[in-house]
Structure 1
């Protein structure tokens, strides 16, 4: 369902990691970069390069959202009380498309963004088609009635490769999910190591 299928695997190859934990990721077979010189291209990253890679990986994980949008989320996180890196993760996980993905209504973050865009989702009974919509604790996200039997939705629910985290209360018989609480960084089931502290260092240079 995602029009960015090639781009997401390109990110996997660039990072040398299976960013979304998908079975078909090319790095499951080879972790080095593309091309005939891919194996020799590895080099020690500078501090800036390490921070940039951490930022690109986290930004790419959430369906490769735009730099402008990601920076806006960071700026909001930095204005909030508490740890900026924890705030950043909390804000990213409260996005509507992130909740749709975490609830296993769709197979990938890319599909989640398109699923919301196409009007398949309701929040508290009201149609919302903005993937970056910020959900509040207690909000109920629901797949609209006509979309509950879509093949993609039914297959996503049965995916064994990931579980629904405990900060989202899901009822797959009704295709509803309740955003129970804002997660801490340690609560979020990333398939690979994310380093939001390095993202903070990158933007606060």
Structure 2
């Protein structure tokens, strides 16, 4: 495929998986700070998971409707990007004072217009239920990719990544559950297979 598409591996809970993602070429590593998630990482583990990573690898923390002060406290020294997965408003995102990605689930072209209200670094296009392995609407994601630098998520794997990137032309892709043996536990074989496919 020979793509310069950026890769984010999310839902990481083990240092060995973080190191493998970096070794294979991920530009972003993601950690879920939402307590209800089966991939939840307690904030006190972030320093161990994120220490000493190469400067070009950005650390992304996933939050769902947390207070701004909580996000800032957890992010300080541990995260480079905050990814908002709840009902956070454009005003809330703007107040955080650090790079923000907003996860969205868009079902109609009209809903794309609502994204204009957000001043964020990236939009992450996900399926209706994040982390479920479901696929988002690639047609709408492709329309959005013409206007913004988007990260495409939702049901991506080695078997469909070629079609996804060629169809949507996203800035980057975000994978989590499709690379797992169990929630939060990555499969080395699946990760190697995926990177081999996307870096062809």
Under a length normalisation based on structure 2, what TM-score does the superposition of the two structures give? Answer: 0.26
Query: As a proportion of its length, which structure holds more strand?
Result: 2
Q: Give the number of the structure whose alpha-carbon radius of gyration is greater.
A: 1
Query: As a proportion of its length, which structure holds more helix?
Result: 1
Under a length normalisation based on structure 1, what TM-score does the superposition of the two structures give? Answer: 0.26
